[in-house]
């Protein structure tokens, strides 16, 4: 059950051996020991992680995190609705693309991949376009590693009476938030991110009163958020269609391990320590982050690629992989960079080992 390398990516990520071992048993999707004792427990724990206030519920959806985003966009917005997307990266752009595929009217505020969105610009749009009904933003934009100031934008959306959708794919479970205090109506994340499970499903934590208004609005059968939730409510955790049982059981174990670590606050502190150790070590080797330090999330960091003519990312990547580390290529359209994540079953000592491996992998520095 040992892995040959650490995945220093934004997910899928390195998981514990005990999470992987949890997938070694087969489960029947009709049995109470699966639906009531695993699925329902997961749903309850997710809500408690998201908020201390009443009135919220959760629903699990098969597929990648993007499937859960599409389920939410396609179910929460009525045929008369309009979406405002705050887009400063690939995943904000993906929300826009989903809306376009579903023929949902959409206004996009796009400040660029290396800038935080401007609150005044968004306020101007909301004040001038009363047809906007929903606002969507990505919390941690892993295109660059930027952490967006969701508190201000959620407050602005609620001041204008809009439904707030938060893509917390790469932040939920690793950064403390209370979605009720923020005024978030729909929050979306995935099993294979900061909870440190494996890929196979995503989930939506929603204000129940808003989720109930989604009945009959879905633009897809398999991605009908309300119908999936209602089935789980009525049938005590039963999924409408085949559930990813092994992934679900691994996630149950991952939630237990989050609690053992000390909860979201403790995990956040570990991720922060990882990220600060990473940036300090990379700077000592001559690498510079793409973003200013105050914009960094504790999730993933983009670094400018070396300008040496001999540098090739693929060669650098393979040299690191041989030493037990897998990093990520860049995704920024106007900068040559690569990314290193520090979430998952990764600790400061691992990051220190990584810095040593990077120094050895810097072949372009060798005379």
Binding residues, as ranges, are: 339
DSSP code per residue over 261-281: HTHHHHHHHHHHHHHHHHHHH
Q: Is 133 exposed, middle or buried (0-12, 13-18, 19+ CB in 10 A)?
A: middle
Q: Residue 135: enclosing H or E segment and its boundaries?
A: strand 134-138
Strands 325-326, 6-7: pairing kind:
parallel
Q: In angstroms, rounded to a whole number, what is the distance separating the alpha carbons of residues 186 and 179?
A: 9
Query: Which residues, at least 6 apart from 14, have a Cβ–Cβ distance to it below 8 Å?
Result: 3, 6, 7, 344, 345, 346
* Residues of the binding site for substrate: 339
Determine the 3-state secondary structure of 50 from DSSP.
helix
CA distances from 293 to 27, 58, 296, 350 (A): 46, 34, 5, 22
What per-residue string of b and e applies to 250-264 under the rule 16 or more CB within 10 Å gives b? bbbbbbebbeeeeeb
Cα 172 from Cα 192, distance rounded (Å): 11
Distance CA 130, CA 128 (A): 6
* CA separation for the pair 227, 240 (Å, rounded): 8
Tokens of 85: 């997307």
**Local structure of 312: helix, strand or coil:** coil
> What secondary structure does DSSP assign to 202-259, as a single string?
EEEEEEHHHHHTTTTT-S-STT-HHHHHHHHHHTTS--SS---HHHHHHHHHHHHHHH
């Amino acid at each position: 059950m040992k892995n040959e390398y650490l995945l220093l990516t934004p997910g899928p990520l390195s998981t514990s051996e005990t999470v992987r071992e949890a997938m070694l048993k087969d489960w029947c999707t009709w049995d109470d020991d699966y639906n009531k004792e695993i699925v329902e427990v997961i749903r309850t724990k997710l809500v408690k992680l998201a908020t201390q206030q009443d009135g919220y519920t959760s629903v699990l959806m098969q597929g990648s995190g993007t499937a859960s985003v599409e389920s939410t966009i396609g179910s929460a917005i009525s045929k008369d609705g309009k979406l405002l997307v705050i887009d400063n990266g690939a995943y904000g752009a993906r929300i826009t693309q989903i809306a376009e595929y579903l023929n949902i009217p959409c206004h996009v505020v796009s400040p660029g991949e290396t800038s935080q969105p401007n609150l005044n610009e968004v306020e101007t749009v909301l004040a001038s376009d009363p047809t906007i009904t929903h606002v969507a933003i990505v919390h941690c934009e892993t295109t660059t590693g930027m952490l967006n100031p969701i508190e201000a934008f959620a407050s602005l959306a609620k001041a204008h009476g809009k439904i707030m959708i938060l893509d917390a794919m790469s932040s939920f479970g690793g950064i403390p938030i209370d979605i009720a205090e923020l005024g978030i109506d729909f929050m979306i994340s995935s099993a294979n991110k900061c909870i440190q499970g494996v890929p196979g499903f995503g989930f939506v934590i929603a204000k129940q009163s808003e989720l109930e208004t989604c009945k009959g609005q879905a633009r897809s059968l398999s991605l009908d958020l309300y119908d999936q939730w209602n089935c789980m409510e009525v049938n005590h955790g039963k999924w409408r269609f085949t559930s990813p049982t092994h992934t679900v059981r691994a996630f149950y174990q991952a939630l237990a391990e989050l609690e053992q670590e000390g909860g979201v606050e403790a995990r956040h502190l570990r991720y922060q320590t990882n990220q600060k150790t990473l940036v300090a070590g990379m700077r000592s080797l001559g690498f510079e982050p793409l973003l200013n330090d105050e914009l960094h999330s504790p999730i993933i960091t983009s670094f400018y690629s070396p300008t040496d003519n001999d540098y090739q990312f693929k060669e650098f990547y393979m040299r690191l992989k041989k030493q037990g580390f897998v990093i990520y290529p860049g995704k920024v359209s106007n900068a040559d960079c690569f990314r290193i994540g520090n979430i998952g079953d990764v600790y400061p000592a691992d990051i220190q080992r990584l810095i040593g491996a990077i120094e050895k992998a810097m072949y372009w520095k060798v005379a």
